Structure 1
Amino acid sequence: MVMSKLRSLIPSPHSLFVFEAAARHLNFKNAAVELNVTQPSVSQSIKALERHCGAQLFIRENRGVQLTEAGRLLYDGVRFGFRRMEDSLRTLASAGTRYLTFAASTSVAAHWLMPQLYQLQQDHPSLKIKVVTTDRDIEPDSEIDMTIWIRDRGFQRPNSWYLCDEVVFPVCSPTYLADKPPIDTVFDLTGHRQLHAFDRFRKRMNWAEWLARVGVQTEETQPDMMFNDYQLTLQAALAGEGLALGWSLSSALLVQNGLLVRPLPVEIRTGSAFFLIAAPGAALTEELGTLVAWFMLRTAALREGQGR
């Protein structure tokens, strides 16, 4: 039997743990905090790994680091290798419950996912789901099984499933319209209170961009209320504070259940779409397959007539 050559290809097994943390955070300081070591220790470990591999793995910048092409290649291998080892260890462990962890934005989690999870649990009582919220797109890894990304409509990669097009349209509560001037055309929208979110890690279409796309030329104005989380924007709309821009997935149930209404049928199709994402190298287990099938069933109506 030939012993694995991995030991000769790396300075130490610990260097792979340090590299994985640094590549995931793209920040040596944050990796050091996670590993409970000093930042110089992380830096020295990375330099030793680079010398041993004969390749630069990170580009050092003032605010953090970025992976080089060689670094991305190694990160993919290390991440998927760690995941397979963790999956194997979990299989061997007889105690404990295995949860499928799903990461979503707060708006998708609160207004699309949570109202429907009860049905999933009823149909598949043995399936255990853990939902975590995130303010940015993250790669599924050993801790996250699935998530949702918005990407170009032609996006393709292993373990990705097209859910629906990204469609953006005005929404508000029925009570807001009850005592406000009527909205008969897109030009009437400029006379109403506009709500918007600015996301640090996600670029969202704002009111100025949306109005320009539908042919309303206005002076550059700021929305009447701004929030740092789109979930808060939807909550303000539900409370009757004004008009918000609704997204096809996160607003679907709110509109379907009459909690929000679309004052006009006008909408913008951005050319992007929502995708369900698992790690490219992850095995499609029975549990993951069940979750994928459930998502596809629950979003079928949103895909009608979208030609994909």
Structure 2
Amino acid sequence: MRGLHVATQRKRLPPLNTIAAFEASARLMSFTRAAEELHLSQGAVSRQIQVLEERMGVPLFNRRHKEIQLTRAGLIFQQAIAQSLNSIRRAVTMIETLDTSTVTIAASNAMASFWLMPAIIDFRSQYPDIDIRVLASNSPVDPWQEPVDLAIRYGDGHWPNLTKVKLFEEEIFPVCAASYQREHNIESIQDLLKCELIELDSGISEFNSWDVWFERTGFQPGVLHKNITVSNYDLVYRAACSGKGVALAWAYGIPHDARETLLVRPLDISIKTGLFEYIIYAENEELSAPARTFLEWLIDFAKRSLWT
């Protein structure tokens, strides 16, 4: 009986040519224009739609003089087909890159700019035959849904159906220009209250905030006066390098060539948030040889790149 049930379910799938006729007609809202796109006669498209409606037992279009409109059932079917076509397009894109030397990795804008790009430059000097494509986005990227081999994601690691590799734990500390440290004689956490504080207001993490940072250190500063508030980490970095004040930085978020030259750590005080940056990829999916090489290299690079 189980085999009979499966066969019945398969039989209920409408003929693919009727689905193609429906998709074109629903997208173009015209049987005539659908026929032109499919290189069929208008009558042939109308018949295919009729066969589909008879097969499904409901009308999919309301037919009016020289125009058509989707019924409720037609709208449901159109949405399902659109989702299926998007999945097919993503699959085609991923399949086309399976046997190439290109590795695609996704990361947040700040991570891509301040950590990943220096890593890629170093990697390419050793592996010039492996091309790296970066997808920079502050929206979390799902390797199951997007055509990426790897992604760097920030958080607690509680994400199903993904393989997760820890890169580094989040550690945050103050930084400023060396000249600013000398001018303000920063020797204790209390001295920060006399400084211009540069605040990152990105909405990505609560730990961007000076209020939260002071709280996590156990220091009670009272009301803070933040002189500069910006919306992305690049502006924070530029303001700090220009001697405009003290900023919060991440142990992996300052380029090597800026450490102790453009920026210094005025205090040996930091907090660890318990959150991590992970490299993730689709669980049970076999990585290509170039992607595996790049992954292993990034793990090693992460160990060498923290500002401690």
- TM-score scaled by length of structure 1: 0.67
CA distance in 2, matches of 1:144, 1:46: 31
Which position in structure 1 is the counterpart of 2:77? 48
Which position in structure 1 is the counterpart of 2:152? 148
Query: Displacement of 1:5 after TM fit?
Result: 3.6
CA distance in 2, matches of 1:257, 1:45: 64
The answer to whether structure 1 residue 248 and structure 2 residue 251 are counterparts is yes
Change (3 A) 1:211 1:252: farther
Out of 233, 237, 246, the position equivalent to 1:234 is 237
Report the AA paired with residue 169 of structure 1. F
For residues 124-273 of structure 1, the aligned pairs below 5 Å read: 124-140=127-143, 141-152=145-156, 158-179=162-183, 181-251=184-254, 253=256, 256=259, 258-273=261-276
CA distance in 1, matches of 2:232, 2:206: 12
Change (3 A) 1:85 1:121: same
- TM-score scaled by length of structure 2: 0.67
Change (3 A) 1:121 1:164: same
CA distance in 2, matches of 1:289, 1:132: 18
Query: Displacement of 1:46 after TM fit?
Result: 6.3
CA distance in 1, matches of 2:235, 2:193: 21
1:165–1:303 CA contact under 8 A, matched in 2: no
Query: Displacement of 1:170 after TM fit?
Result: 0.6
Query: Displacement of 1:164 after TM fit?
Result: 0.8
Which structure would you say has the larger Rg? 2
State the identity as a percent.
Answer: 23
Which position in structure 2 is the counterpart of 1:86? 93
Aligned length: 252
Structure 1 runs (4+) greater than 6 angstroms displaced: 43-46, 77-81, 153-156, 302-305
Change (3 A) 1:49 1:236: same
CA distance in 1, matches of 2:292, 2:190: 46
Change (3 A) 1:78 1:216: farther
Change (3 A) 1:154 1:138: closer
Which position in structure 2 is the counterpart of 1:26? none
Change (3 A) 1:44 1:270: farther
The answer to whether structure 1 residue 290 and structure 2 residue 308 are counterparts is no
Change (3 A) 1:78 1:206: farther
CA distance in 2, matches of 1:7, 1:81: 21
Give the alignment's Cα RMSD to 1 decimal: 4.0
Measured against aligned partners, the alpha-carbon deviations of 1:227-273 in whole angstroms (never above 9, x if no partner) come to 11112111111111111111122136366464321111111110111
CA distance in 1, matches of 2:92, 2:257: 41
